Amino acid sequence: MTSIKRPLIAALAGVLLAGCASNNSYENQGGTGTSRTATYGGIGALAGAVAGAAIDHNNRGKGALIGAAAVGAAAAGYGYYADRQEAELRRQMQNTGVEVQRQGDDIKLIMPGNITFATDSADISGNFYQPLNNLASSFKQFNQNSIEIVGYTDSTGSRTHNMDLSNRRAQSVANYLIAQGVDASRVSTRGAGPDQPIASNVTPDGRAQNRRVEVNLRPLPGATTAPAQ
């Protein structure tokens, strides 16, 4: 009996410690909240370890570890998937000017006007292509979320003109991503014009920040997939 319990207990302890240590340092922008990976993965790992030990009668310690890893990842579900996607997006968007934000299972990418569009234009700027190529690659690898593209403008000009311009900006980004192989059924667009400014429209720099595109990633209905490899 002792020879069975010791490896099982060790396996459980190891998995729980790993889960507790897996904090999402990006959630709430520097908060200390535990990620869904740790919360659900740790609980699922307990069940997996017990099941694994029961299945592998010849080596219960090894079976417990295998079961814990497999079931723990599955129990973490979309949270684990989003953790992986967020980390990859942060790596790809480094030094591009694109900001990555995380709120729960949702990921937001903020692309300011100084890299996206010139004033009063819906034509993609030359230095915006590389970030978009990286996004397309990521969206094809991580394909379990919807992609909402929202265009914004500064407050210069009429509201009617700005609403139309913001729609065209969002559509320009969508068209490019789809042309790079992103599934069109996942993509939606809308224009918000000058609404929800993130900076003052009084200065040129503030207007450039408001002339932005935001991409919102949300789980597709029923998305509880294992992480992309």
CA 9, 15, 16, 21 dihedral sign is positive
Q: pLDDT tens across 146-181, in order?
A: 999 999 999 999 999 999 999 999 999 999 999 999
Q: pLDDT tens across 28-39, in order?
A: 444 434 455 555
CATH of domain 95-219: 3.30.1330.60
- Using 50, 70 and 90 to split pLDDT, how confident is the model at 70? very low
What number is the average pLDDT over the span 122-127? 92
- Using 50, 70 and 90 to split pLDDT, how confident is the model at 67? very low
Higher pLDDT: 164 or 127? It is 164
Task: Name residue, tokens 């993965």.
Answer: 41
| CB < 8 Å & 24+ apart, contacts of 8-12 | 8/49, 8/50, 8/53, 8/60, 8/61, 8/64, 10/61, 11/49, 11/52, 11/53, 11/61, 11/64, 11/65, 11/68, 12/45, 12/46, 12/49, 12/64, 12/68
Helix (H, G, I), strand (E, B) or coil at 187: strand
Query: What are the sequence ranges of the domains in the chain?
Result: 2-79, 95-219
pLDDT winner (highest mean) among 14-18, 104-108, 119-123, 220-224: 104-108
This model's pTM is above 0.85: no
The conformation of residue 155, written as its DSSP 8-state character, comes to S
